[in-house]
Amino acid sequence: MRVTWEGVDIENTEYSKYLGITLERIFKHHCGNVRQKTHARNNLIRKLTGTSWGGDTSTVRTSALALCYLTAEYAAPVWARSCHTKKVDIALNETCRIILRSLKPTTVEEIQALSEIAPPDIRRDVASETE
């Protein structure tokens, strides 16, 4: 189907985006996109931890909350009930590991408690209740 508006052809897209949210029934693509964005920001945080001028834990934690968590939780009340939120949770757990400079064998519960950041599912529930 071809749609034109004021003489300009409008492209047909498989997944529509509105205010940064990929609209589809189960939000699979949106959660995948959020995971990729969070992973890219995790790489920036990882580089920050490797420097001598910004590597203390409080600076890294503040940067991670600003860069990773805000990106990952944008419009969370809309997609929080999706079955694909685990993709985002894995990236946020990696963020906590970077903050603490902990190794992979450290459990998720321990890294979240030590970093003093609530688990992603609880943060999404609180955001949903306040909306």
* Separation CA 40–CA 46 (nearest Å): 10
Is the Cβ–Cβ distance between 92 and 70 less than 8 Å?
no
pLDDT tens, position by position, 26-59: 888 899 999 999 999 999 998 888 767 667 888 8
Backbone angles phi, psi at 98, to 5 degrees: -65, -40
What does DSSP say about strands 16-18 and 21-23: parallel, antiparallel, or unpaired?
antiparallel
Show the DSSP H helices in the chain as ranges.
Answer: 28-49, 57-64, 70-72, 76-79, 85-100, 108-115, 120-130
pLDDT of residue 55: 74
Using a cut of 0.85, tell me whether the model's pTM lies above it.
no
